[in-house]
Amino acid sequence: MVKADNVKKDYTIGKVVVHALRGVTIDVEQGEFMSIAGPSGSGKTTLLNLIGCLDTASAGEIYIDGQAVSGRSKNELALLRREKLGFVFQSFNLIPVLTAIENVSFALSLLGLDSDTVQKKSMQIMEEVGLKGLEKRFPNELSGGQQQRVAIARALVKDPGIVLADEPTANLDSNTGKDILKLMEELNKKHKTTFIFSTHDSMVMDFAHRLVQLHDGLIAKNGVGKGGGK
């Protein structure tokens, strides 16, 4: 599903070169519920960005469904993200002028689907994430947890193979964060969608079925997580 092969990423800040990833190799199978954990600066967000084709590796290769992503044009990468990847962000990143349902529909309208299909699928996913009846609300009329549910619906509505979530609970209180993680776990089971989180929150790590720990840009631990928040 996803493979990172000896991936390295360097940033130049002024005259200093920062080695964010020093050679990470990882395989993620379809339907995994995986967490990339580590302290600040360990390279977890960088790895997530590379897998999400939001950034390019300095060396090594990322494969999505067996196909290398390096060398692709900006438009090709945009199409890849549009069709195969869903994103959930720490600060939700909903479009404030659109209602909840419109935010969800946005992902589908990029695929050029007809409006009936867009409407039907959007309503269905809204119900799945527990937001039935709140479709017409604007983001500022929703709580943080509800906004993150909209973001999850937006990521899942197009049936992507992979959902990448960067610190999805960081802006939520612990109870709401737990609810969100349970929801994602349920959806992972139901849709067989691969979920990859980056986090330094132990609660998120506890939910992960597989835990990859990064330290100074290298994999420090790659093993089975507790799963289910145990």
Partner 1 sequence: MKFLISLAWKNLSRYRRRTIITAVAIAIGIALYIWIDALLLGAEMETVRNLIYFETGPARIMQKKYWEEKDYMLISYYLEDPAAIQAELKKEGYESTQRISFLGNIMNLEQQEGSFQIKMAAIDAKTDGVVFKLEDGIVPENGRFLESGEPEIIIGKDLAEDLDIKLDDWVLVTTKTAGDVYGEAGSWDDLELKVVGLLSTPNPLINKGMAFIPLDYAKQRLMRGQGATDVIVNFPAGADSGSEVEKIKAAIAGLPGAGDWEVLDYKELAREFIMLASTKSGGSKIILFLFFIIAVIGISNTMLMAVFERVKEIGMMRAMGMKDRAIVWAFFLEATGIGFVGSLVGLVLGILLTAYMVIWGLDFSGMIQGMGNIGYRTAGVFKGWWNFDTMLSAFFMGIIISGLVSFIPALRAVRMQITECLRDK
Q: Could you say whether residue 113 binds partner 1 (CB under 8 A)?
A: no
CB of residue 225 vs partner 1: minimum separation in angstroms? 26
Question: 67, 75, 107, 110: which is closest to 88 by C-alpha?
Answer: 107
Q: Which CB, 9 or 178, lies closer to partner 1?
A: 9
What are the two backbone dihedrals, phi and then psi, of residue 50, each rounded to the nearest 5 degrees?
A: -70, -45
Using CB under 8 A, which of 10, 58, 63, 106 touches partner 1?
106
Is residue 17 within 8 A of residue 8, CB to CB? The reply is no
Beta strands in the chain (DSSP E): 2-13, 16-28, 33-37, 59-64, 67-68, 85-88, 162-166, 194-199, 210-215, 218-224
Question: Which residues within the stretch 17-46 sit at the binding site for partner 1 (CB under 8 A)?
Answer: none
Residue type, 19: H
Q: Which CB, 33 or 87, lies closer to partner 1?
A: 87
- Interface map 54-93 toward partner 1 (x if CB under 8 A): xx------------------xx--xxxxxx-x-x-x-x-x
Q: Which CB, 112 or 223, lies closer to partner 1?
A: 112
Alpha carbon distance 172, 177 (integer Å): 5
Question: Which residues within the stretch 142-181 sit at the binding site for partner 1 (CB under 8 A)?
Answer: 154
The dihedral through the CA atoms of 123, 125, 128, 134 has a sign that is: negative
Number of residues that bind partner 1 (CB under 8 A): 26
Q: Which residues bind partner 1 (CB under 8 A)?
A: 49, 52, 54-55, 74-75, 78-83, 85, 87, 89, 91, 93, 95-98, 106-107, 109-110, 154
